[in-house]
Structure 1
Amino acid sequence: MAAEPEADVTPRSGTLKTTVLLATLAVLAIGLSIAGTLWFLADRSEAGGGTDDPAELAAAQEPAFTPSQYQVLDKALVTTVQAEGRQRYVQVHLAFEADNGEALAAARLHLPLLRSQMIGVLSGSDFMALQAPNGRAALTSELLAAVNRVLEQEGAPGLRAVLLRNFVLQ
């Protein structure tokens, strides 16, 4: 039998150099990525450009987030509106949105007056306008203005929004 030549078992130096080069580039890219992230997230005030003036520090800070508070009105507002010589009914379930509990407490205290004002706004509305989405948005703006006007007269803080929970036209 003829002797077969032995296969070269040692890897070629070209592929070994390429593998080492790619591994080095990967480690370098990861290191630069980490360094760049840390640089962007670093606090700039420690870099020597900061000030010790409390007024400037207070102005530079963002205002604290205050979550909204809600009060749901248990009873719906029901009234009639005129539409082309016919009497139509409107039923609205509402909720109040405020920044603080003080405004909601004032709204609870003056709720009979607020309901009366809101029913007046509803009954003065146009039936055809209430059928359109932008008409309902205008209605909530009018209701908010009426409620805040009453709360302002009573010396209480105003509400942020009047929200429609359910809206029925008949």
Structure 2
Amino acid sequence: MNVQQAIVGCRTLVVEGRDGIARNALLAELARQGFLIRRPPEDLHHVDPTQPYRELLAAPGLLAVDGSMIRELVYGPLRRGRSRVTWIQALDFAEAVAERDGAILHLVAPASAPECGLPGRVAPGVAEAAAVEEITAYERAFRTLAQHVPVVTVDIREVGHPIRAPVLRRSQRWLKARKLTVG
């Protein structure tokens, strides 16, 4: 399955990838295709970390979720020594995505991709060994989740260039008026 097949054949897409990989072009394309783009809250719920994701998946229609608890599965052990999300919760999330006719888009960037917003594959201030650990942890997570939900690996260079913001134009009513008169 490639990106176009995932867009056409899925009602739910979860966009996930390492920190620093640009995803704006892909999210813009999904929005143009009719997907409702949602981002989960930055901090996980302190009692039930899966609650915000269940609420997001309850939305009707086409849905694209930017980021997920997979990030916590990867970065939790690397940064804090443990994850606040269990594998059982992550697999339940994957099955919920699959039940909504969904897939997970695994964004990857090659070592020299300028699109990833980082010099090479190393995040600022992170040693190359740590970057290799991140890549390995993501690959392990996606390999495990692929047993429960389709996982589509997307090279960010295939998506296209980021969309530029429109040029701001002055309001037409101010074209002829030079002074504001009150009275």
TM-score between both structures, scaled by the size of structure 1: 0.25
Higher helix share: 1
Structure with more of its chain in strand, by fraction:
1
**Structure of higher CA gyration radius:** 1
Using the size of structure 2 for normalisation, the TM-score is 0.24
